[in-house]
């Protein structure tokens, strides 16, 4: 197999070289290249269309706003467009290669003419399938719980992307688990994207410029995860003027400021957010506890995140970006009890922290070749501790204390280089490589014990730290095979080195777009993916205790093969796409039956897990309107997701916890005027699969293996159902939001009213066996989020 | 001209008021919290049979109960009329059960039994229930001699004697510590399971507030993957995890605490250990029951687990073991 893939890789390289040579020989035009920018801020526009109608060819600007297009001799009409901006057309007659930066002025979104809908960027023209993007302007207008807009929850409204449960921000893409999503912030992978036990994501919508998610048909430049790639790009910072926003909601406040450091040369962006649940709730809790003056309590919970970025243009061909993200959750409870001369204290804490640093350097080698070098660090740490102490304040005072601290974490240091080579309008070559040094701390516990004059104990135990090195090279070619057929072929070659063991792999990727005569397109894709990290997690809840662990000689990497086929067409302003997919996965891990994350506190994590396989298949329908006064989409997914582990459920296949047969969403946004915006969402999903106790019996075990028979102890045993044999109630909910905006000369302000779960449907969150007053038992589902109205205030200057 | 779309002050006031009303409504709903009761299919009671014994024993005790649906408040019921048949592959069989063999608080008892080696089939019948059956191969007899021998080497490391005066009487507290190296048989091609536990011969003396004779055993190596503590068995479950002879040089620490007024008598009392060789099915039964009964992550965070059963009904166990006593003396 590897030999065949190697031949495939060599053929692709040869093809690229041959194409470049032939391109030079048959060059019949000149190259126009440059950046597409927002005229107001100088921000690069990602995914803007540069289209030449006479040759029926075009390109999209890349992550840095860069484009490169070959134009034939003679006068050519070039149009540059981007959603929400006024398109610009140029008549060009090139006598040599031209460097042309294009600045687009922001349009009024309700004017439909703002978006020309240049044919190149229509869904049926894109080779890439299974990729979705929600404009940030629309994300900010969606209804949000507590008025706190969340990027990941907005993605959960798209077909093929599901939520884990009520209020949680985890993404379950095409039957995959959350660890199978590569979530990159400014090119840096993030390991934990949750605040508040998963109810909020770490992304501050005010600091984000653009996001997109790819669910399948992965181009060769992506790798390392099985199920999706979510790219989030922070704002670069306004190059021309100082601007800012302030936002106050019932849960958190946030601010963003941006502006030039040197006008049109360098800019900055700084954004921060902090919750104040602790400030609001502590007085209430303390007043409840005030009845007992001997006890003092100090509960705490908050999260914050900070985003910062500096963007510096060094000449016309180089640009440097420095990005930083830092976010932390802190949860805890401290209590002090005084009784007579004795004082006892108790302190429990749980905190987790993400930190990302990235430095990127873009260089335009010539009008066809663009490169980017990225150096990154990504760190995630989780700590939990508990401490008791007791002191006797007497003449011979004594004290005793116990402290336990559990730490786990992961750190990545990575270097990456990417080249984009616009060989001709028929071939767009991308290639590059990456090396990542990954340090795992899969959990260590420190115990400290001190009692009076006895010698103290101070010891650390648990899993040892591990290092791995992951390297990959990739090459892909986006090629126009004929007037009607476009394709993207590539190979992602990767190798992991851990504990002296190597895991090499060659992953072929292919995508094809076949344009039909009626203007619609059929799309096909094939992608093999490999993942070298696993997330050890209990399926029921997403907790910060989830452990990232590497593939080792005992626990092999995860693999997937995904086939997808689809049809797409734009009807006026409405994009329609239908996709079917089949994904086979292997090397998945799960806790063994009877195991849990707490086992990993004091034993090897490898002994707690078992490996198995999975599959997922289904169909996705999306009807999306991105422009006009009324925008939104309707999405529906019919899907199946299953798992099989030899050591779970007697080796039989069972439905994945998040196997969801039907998943539907309706999103509607309407702009009544410049002052009033309305948005509404409705979601429906089949209930989550779960295992419940079904029966009991009594058994007897001998107290001794050598003494008198008959000396037994009785034991009641609960018998669970087949794995995931039951379903919770279906999930459905509607949210609405109404925004009033008032423009002032110096700033604008908005008042946002939103109602989460407007028809007050209590959706299941957990289930319990309960005993009624009459002694009868029942299993009852409980919900936690009823109707929740909220209000937020926002100012922009 | 003023735009008609501009919201009035009344609207600004009405919306917070509406929010407040909605919040109250939501609080009321949350106060109840119940989404729905999950409906279970009716459970058809099955025979849950337990027969765990040594093959060579004077007495066999079998127990038959019903399984019960999780929502059945009356739970698992005993079946006094159940009939048991134990048949050997060579054709010999034993039958007992019904009211005549029922011993209150114990189960259905048959005496004067000596099960010969080989494959045994247990059959339990009760009116209105599907018959439950299970098969079991007698494990080889674990002993210091014979075809399935263990080897033991012990070293007495420490003897501490504390003496104290209680009124006119002298009392002694003796602490002894041994290191023990145990070689257990490991058959190529077969899985071997053992339990090593301390035999608690004496009880806690409430007046003296001390154990009369308490023995504890722990592995020398904390992370020895060949053994795990099983609370239900009351000892260390030992398993051959790799090739033959993987159960050599199992290291243990044995601690014995004794108290009493006659020092010579105390020093003469050995620390007693039990060594049992379990059939594969019985070992699996212990392992799964332990995980269910003592979930490491509590009931919420532990992956659900089905108790192993070799009974055809899926409830209970027919398990055989052989055993012997080990004595560690102060010499």
**pLDDT over 70 percentage in chain A:** 88
Tokens linked to A235: 């704002």
- How confident is the model over A530-550, as a mean pLDDT? 75
Mark yes or no for CB contact B296/A595 under 8 Å.
yes
Cβ distance of B307 and A719 shorter than 8 Å: yes
Claim to verify: residue A144 and residue A14 sit in the same structural domain: no
Residue A675 domain-assigned?
yes
pLDDT of residue A578: 96
One domain for residues A142 and A171: yes
First and final C-alpha spacing in chain A: 59
- pLDDT tens, position by position, B150-177: 999 999 999 999 988 777 777 888 999 9
Q: Does residue A249 carry a pLDDT above 80?
A: yes
Query: Which band of pLDDT confidence, cut at 50, 70 and 90, is reported for residue B245?
Result: low
Which chain B residues in 91-110 lie under 8 Å from chain A, judged by CB atoms?
103, 106-107, 109
Q: State the residue range of the domain holding A54.
A: 2-120
With cut-offs at 50, 70 and 90, classify the pLDDT of residue B131: very high
**What's residue A160's pLDDT?**
93
- Cβ B33–A784 below 8 Å, yes or no? yes
Report the number of distinct structural domains present in chain A. 2
Q: Are residues A93 and A175 in the same domain?
A: no
ipTM: 0.87
Is the confidence at residue A367, as pLDDT, over 60?
yes
User: Which residue of A705, A717, A765 to mutate against B (max B Cβ within 10 Å)?
Assistant: A705
Give the mean pLDDT of A205-227.
92
- Indicate the residue of A717, A740, A753 with minimum beta-carbon distance to B307: A717
pLDDT at residue A114 is higher than 50 = no
pLDDT at residue number A93: 82
Closest approach of B169 to chain A, Cα-based (Å):
31
pLDDT of residue B238: 94
Yes or no, beta carbons of B16 and A791 under 8 Å apart: yes
Nearest CA in chain B to A742: B6
pLDDT for the residue A644: 96
Does the distance separating the beta carbons of A593 and B303 come in below 8 Å?
Answer: yes
Query: Has residue A710 been placed in a domain?
Result: no
- The residue among A120, A143, A161 that closes a domain is A120
> Which chain B residues touch A779 with a CB distance below 8 Å?
37-38, 40, 70-71
Inform me whether the pLDDT recorded for A45 exceeds 60: yes
Binary contact (A695, B43; C-beta < 8 A) = yes
The radius of gyration of chain A from alpha carbons, rounded to an integer in Å, stands at 29
Give the Cα separation of A391 and A399 in Å (integer): 4
Per-residue model confidence as pLDDT tens digits over A746-763: 889 999 988 888 888 888
The residue-averaged pLDDT of A85-114 equals 75
Rounded to 10 degrees, the C-alpha dihedral B235/B241/B246/B249 comes to -30
pLDDT, one tens digit per residue, over A184-201 is 999 899 988 888 766 778
CB A432 within 8 A of CB A63: no
pLDDT for A689-747, tens place per residue? 888 888 999 999 998 888 766 688 899 998 888 889 888 889 999 999 999 999 888 88
Residue A536 sits in the same domain as residue A590: yes
Encoded tokens for A288: 């409840």
pLDDT at position A550 is 85
Task: Give the start-to-end residue ranges of the domains of chain B.
Answer: 47-137, 151-308+321-328
Asked if the Cβ–Cβ distance from B316 to A699 is below 8 Å, we say yes
Which range (A109-113, A144-148, A339-343, A469-473) has the least confidence? A109-113
Q: Tell me: do A80 and A137 sit in the same domain.
A: no
Domain co-membership, A112 together with A140: no
Measured between CA atoms, how close is B148 to chain A, in angstroms?
A: 17
pLDDT average, residue stretch A434-462: 73
pLDDT band at residue A530 under the 50/70/90 scheme: very high
Chain A contact for B142 (CB, 8 A cutoff): no
**Does residue B210 carry a pLDDT above 60?**
no
Whether A565 maps to a domain, the answer reads yes
Considering the domain architecture, whether residues A368 and A446 belong to the same structural domain is answered as yes
Three-state DSSP state, A592: coil
CATH at residue A114: 2.60.40.1120
Residue B3 has pLDDT above 70, yes or no: no
Question: CATH number for the domain including A764?
Answer: 2.40.170.20
Average pLDDT over residues A440-444: 75
Res A384: pLDDT: 82
CA gap A215, A157 in Å, rounded = 14
Q: How many angstroms separate the CA of residue B129 from the nearest CA in chain A?
A: 15
Mean pLDDT calculated for residue range A766-771: 75
- Can you tell me the mean pLDDT for B47-55? 93
d(CA B189, CA B69): 40
Tokens coding A696: 């009991």
C-alpha to C-alpha distance for A508 and A6, rounded to whole angstroms: 10
Q: Do B19 and A676 touch (CB under 8 A)?
A: no
Q: Do the chains contact at B303 and A726, CB–CB below 8 Å?
A: no
Q: What integer pLDDT is reported at residue A99 of this predicted model?
A: 87
Phi, psi of B29 (to 5 degrees): -65, -40
pLDDT of the residue at B25: 66
Q: Taking Cα atoms as reference points, which of B105, B106, B64 lies closest to residue B83?
A: B64
The B residues from 269 to 288 touching A (CB cutoff 8 Å) are 274-276, 286, 288
* Partners of residue A732 in chain B, C-beta under 8 Å: none
Probe site for chain B from A592, A702, A719, A737 (most B CB atoms < 10 A): A719
B24 touches chain A (CB under 8 A): no
Q: Last residue of a domain, which of A100, A120, A140?
A: A120
d(CA A492, CA A532): 14
Whats the size of chain B, residue-wise? 331
Give the up-direction half-sphere exposure of residue B284: CA atoms within 13 A in the CB hemisphere: 16
pLDDT at A664: 95
Give the span between the Cα atoms of A795 and B19, in whole angstroms: 22
Least-confidence region, from B10-19, B34-43, B54-63, B65-74? B10-19
User: Closest Cα partner for A632 from A598, A672, A678, A600?
Assistant: A678
**Is residue B326 within 8 Å of A705, Cβ to Cβ?**
no
Percent of chain B's residues with pLDDT above 70? 83
CA distance A331 to chain B (A): 19
Tell whether B221 lies on the interface with A, counting CB pairs under 8 A: no
- Domain assignment of residue A702, yes or no: no
Residue A24 binned pLDDT confidence (cut-offs 50, 70, 90): very low
Compute the average pLDDT of residues A12-22.
49
Contacts of B233 in chain A (CB under 8 A): 701
CB contact (8 A) between residue B274 and residue A709: no
Tell me whether residue A126 is in a domain: no
Residue A112 has pLDDT above 60, yes or no: no
**pLDDT-wise least confident of A235-239, A574-578, B109-113:** B109-113
Instruction: Decide if pLDDT at B33 tops 80.
Output: no
Nearest CA in chain A to B76: A697
Q: Given CA atoms A545, A550, A552, A557 in this order, what sign does their dihedral have?
A: positive
Q: Of A93, A120, A147, which one is at a domain's C-terminal end?
A: A120
DSSP state for residue B138 in the 8-state scheme: P
Question: Which chain A residues are Cβ-neighbours of B306 within 8 angstroms?
Answer: 593, 649-650, 719-720
Question: Is position A697 within any domain?
Answer: no
Better pLDDT: B1 or A213: A213
| Contact partners, residue A668, CB within 8 Å, separation at least 6 | A630, A632, A679, A680, A681
The fold for domain B47-137 equals Immunoglobulin-like (2.60.40)
| Amino acid A3: pLDDT | 53
Please tell me whether residues A588 and A681 are part of one structural domain.
yes
pLDDT of B255 > 60? The answer is: yes
Q: Are residues A109 and A137 in the same domain?
A: no
Q: Could you tell me which residues come within 8 angstroms of residue A3 by beta carbon, excluding any fewer than 6 positions away?
A: none
Q: Which of residues 55-94 of B touch A (CB under 8 A)?
A: 57-61, 63, 65-73, 75-76
Nearest CA in chain A to B25: A787
> What is this structure's pTM?
0.82
List the single range of A216-225, A364-373, A441-450, B61-70 with lowest mean pLDDT.
A441-450
Q: Which of A728, A776, A787 sits opposite B22 (nearest CB)?
A: A787
Higher pLDDT, A137 or B98: B98
Nearest to B306 among A699, A719, A783 (CB): A719
Q: Does a structural domain hold residue A219? A: yes
Here the tokens at position B47 are 């025979």
Dig out the tokens for A162 from the structure.
């599901």
The answer for B 235-264 residues in CB contact with A (under 8 A) is none
Residues A68 and A206 placed together within one structural domain of the fold:
no
A704 domain-assigned: no
Tokens of A408: 């786990």
pLDDT at B4: 47
Average pLDDT, chain A: 85
> Is A376's pLDDT higher than 70?
yes
B213-232 in b/e burial notation, b at 16+ Cβ within 10 A?
bbbebebeeeeeebbeebeb
pLDDT for res B299: 56
Residues A149 and A91 in one domain: no
pLDDT digits (tens, 9 = 90+) for A636-681: 999 999 999 998 888 899 999 899 999 999 999 999 988 999 999 9
- In this complex, is the C-beta atom of B30 within 8 Å of any C-beta atom belonging to chain A? yes
Q: Does residue A276 register a pLDDT over 70?
A: yes
Which positions in chain B touch A777 (Cβ < 8 Å)? Answer: 70-73
């Amino acid at each position: 197999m590897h030999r065949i893939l190697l031949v495939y890789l060599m053929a692709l390289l040869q093809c690229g070289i041959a194409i470049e040579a032939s391109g030079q020989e048959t060059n019949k035009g000149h190259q126009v290249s440059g950046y597409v920018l927002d005229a107001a801020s100088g921000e690069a526009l990602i995914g803007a269309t540069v289209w030449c109608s006479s040759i029926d060819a075009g390109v999209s600007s890349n992550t840095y706003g860069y484009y490169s297009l070959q134009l034939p001799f003679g006068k050519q009409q070039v149009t540059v467009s981007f959603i929400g901006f006024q398109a610009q057309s140029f008549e060009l007659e090139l006598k040599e290669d031209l460097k042309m930066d294009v600045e687009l002025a922001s349009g009024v979104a309700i004017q439909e003419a703002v978006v020309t809908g240049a044919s190149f960027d229509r869904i049926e023209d894109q080779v890439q399938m299974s990729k979705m993007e929600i404009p940030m302007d629309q994300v900010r207008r969606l209804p949000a719980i507590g008025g706190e807009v969340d990027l990941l929850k907005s993605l959960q409204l798209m077909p093929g992307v599901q939520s884990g449960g009520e209020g949680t921000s985890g993404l379950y893409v095409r039957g995959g688990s959350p660890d199978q999503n590569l979530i990159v912030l400014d090119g840096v992978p993030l390991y934990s994207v949750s605040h508040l036990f998963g109810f909020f994501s770490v992304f501050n919508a005010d600091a984000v410029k653009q996001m997109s998610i790819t669910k399948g048909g992965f181009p060769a430049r992506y790798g390392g995860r099985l199920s999706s790639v979510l790219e989030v790009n922070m704002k670069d910072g306004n190059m021309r003027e100082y601007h800012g926003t302030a936002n106050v909601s019932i849960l958190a406040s946030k601010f963003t400021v941006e502006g030039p450091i040197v006008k049109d040369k360098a800019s900055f962006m700084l954004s921060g957010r902090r919750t104040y649940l602790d400030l609001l709730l502590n007085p209430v809790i303390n007043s409840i506890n005030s009845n007992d003056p001997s006890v003092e309590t100090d509960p705490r919970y908050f999260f914050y995140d900070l985003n910062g970025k500096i963007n510096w243009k060094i000449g016309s061909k180089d640009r440097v970006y420095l990005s930083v993200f830092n976010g932390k959750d802190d949860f805890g409870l401290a209590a002090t009890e005084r009784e007579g001369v004795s004082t006892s204290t108790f302190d429990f804490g749980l905190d987790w922290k993400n930190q990302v640093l990235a430095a990127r350097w873009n260089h335009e080698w010539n009008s066809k070749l663009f490169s980017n070098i990225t150096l990154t660090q990504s760190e995630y740490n989780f700590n939990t501790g508990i401490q008791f102490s007791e002191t006797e304040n007497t003449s011979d005072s004594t004290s005793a204390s116990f402290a336990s601290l559990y730490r786990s974490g992961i750190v990545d240091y990575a270097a990456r280089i990417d080249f984009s080579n616009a060989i001709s309008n028929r071939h767009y070559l991308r290639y590059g490589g990456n090396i990542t040094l990954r340090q795992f701390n899969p959990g260590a516990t420190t115990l400290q014990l001190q009692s009076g004059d006895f010698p103290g104990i101070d010891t650390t135990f648990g899993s040892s730290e591990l290092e791995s090195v992951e390297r990959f090279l990739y090459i892909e070619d986006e090629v126009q095979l004929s007037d009607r057929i476009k394709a993207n072929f590539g190979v992602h070659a990767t190798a992991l080195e851990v504990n002296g063991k190597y895991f090499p792999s060659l992953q072929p990727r292919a995508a094809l777009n076949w344009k039909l005569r009626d203007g619609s397109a059929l799309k096909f894709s094939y992608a093999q993916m490999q993942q070298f990290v696993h997330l050890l997690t209990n399926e029921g809840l997403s907790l910060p205790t989830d452990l990232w662990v590497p593939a080792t000689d005992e626990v092999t990497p995860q693999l997937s093969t995904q086939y997808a086929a689809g049809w797409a067409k734009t009807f006026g302003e409405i994009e329609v796409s239908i996709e079917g997919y089949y994904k086979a996965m292997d090397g998945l891990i799960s806790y063994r039956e009877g195991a849990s994350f707490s086992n990993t506190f004091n034993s090897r994590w490898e002994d707690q897990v078992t490996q198995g396989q999975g599959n997922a298949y289904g169909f996705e329908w999306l009807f999306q309107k991105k422009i006009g006064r009324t925008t939104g989409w309707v999405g529906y997914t019919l899907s199946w997701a299953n798992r099989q582990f030899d050591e779970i459920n007697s080796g039989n296949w069972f439905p994945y916890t998040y196997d969801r047969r039907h998943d539907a969403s309706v999103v509607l946004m309407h702009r009544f005027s410049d002052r009033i915006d309305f948005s509404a969402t409705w979601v429906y999903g089949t209930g989550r699969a779960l295992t419940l106790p079904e029966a009991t019996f009594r058994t007897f075990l001998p107290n001794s293996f050598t003494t008198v028979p008959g000396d037994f102890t009785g034991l009641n045993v609960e018998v669970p159902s087949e794995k995931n044999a039951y379903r919770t109630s279906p999930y459905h909910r509607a949210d609405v939001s109404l925004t009033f905006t008032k423009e002032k000369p110096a700033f604008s302000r908005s008042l946002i009213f939103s109602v989460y779960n407007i028809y007050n449907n209590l959706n299941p969150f957990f289930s319990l066996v309960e005993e009624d007053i009459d002694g009868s038992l029942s299993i009852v589902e409980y919900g936690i989020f009823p109707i929740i109205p909220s209000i937020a205030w926002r100012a922009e200057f | 001209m003023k735009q008609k779309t501009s919201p009035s002050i009344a609207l600004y006031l009405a919306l917070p008021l509406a929010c407040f009303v909605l919040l109250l409504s939501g609080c009321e709903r949350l106060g109840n919290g119940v989404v729905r009761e999950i409906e279970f299919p009716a459970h058809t009671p099955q025979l849950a049979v337990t027969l765990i014994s040594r093959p060579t024993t004077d007495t066999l005790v079998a127990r038959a109960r019903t399984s019960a649906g999780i929502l059945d408040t009356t739970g698992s019921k005993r079946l006094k009329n159940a009939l048991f048949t134990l048949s050997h592959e060579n054709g010999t069989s034993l039958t007992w059960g019904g009211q005549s063999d029922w011993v209150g608080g114990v189960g259905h008892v048959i005496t004067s039994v000596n099960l010969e080696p080989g494959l045994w089939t247990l059959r339990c019948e009760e009116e209105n229930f599907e018959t439950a059956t299970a098969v079991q191969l007698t494990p080889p007899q674990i002993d210091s001699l014979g075809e399935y021998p263990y080897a033991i080497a012990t070293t007495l490391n420490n003897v501490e004697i504390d003496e104290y005066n209680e009124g006119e009487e002298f009392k002694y507290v003796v602490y002894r510590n041994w290191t023990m190296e145990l070689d257990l048989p490991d058959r190529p091609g077969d899985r071997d399971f053992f339990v090593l536990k301390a035999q608690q011969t004496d009880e806690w003396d409430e007046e003296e507030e001390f154990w009369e004779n308490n023995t504890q055993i722990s592995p020398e190596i904390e992370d020895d993957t060949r053994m795990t503590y099983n609370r239900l068995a009351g000892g260390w479950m030992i398993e051959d995890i790799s090739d033959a002879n993987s159960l050599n040089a199992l290291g243990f620490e044995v601690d014995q605490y004794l108290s009493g007024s006659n020092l010579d008598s105390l020093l003469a009392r050995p620390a007693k250990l039990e060594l049992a060789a379990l059939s594969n099915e019985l070992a699996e039964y212990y392992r799964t029951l332990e995980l269910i009964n003592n979930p490491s992550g509590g009931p919420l965070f532990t992956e659900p687990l089905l108790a192993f059963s070799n009974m055809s009904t899926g409830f209970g166990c027919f398990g055989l073991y052989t055993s012997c006593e080990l004595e560690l003396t102060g010499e």
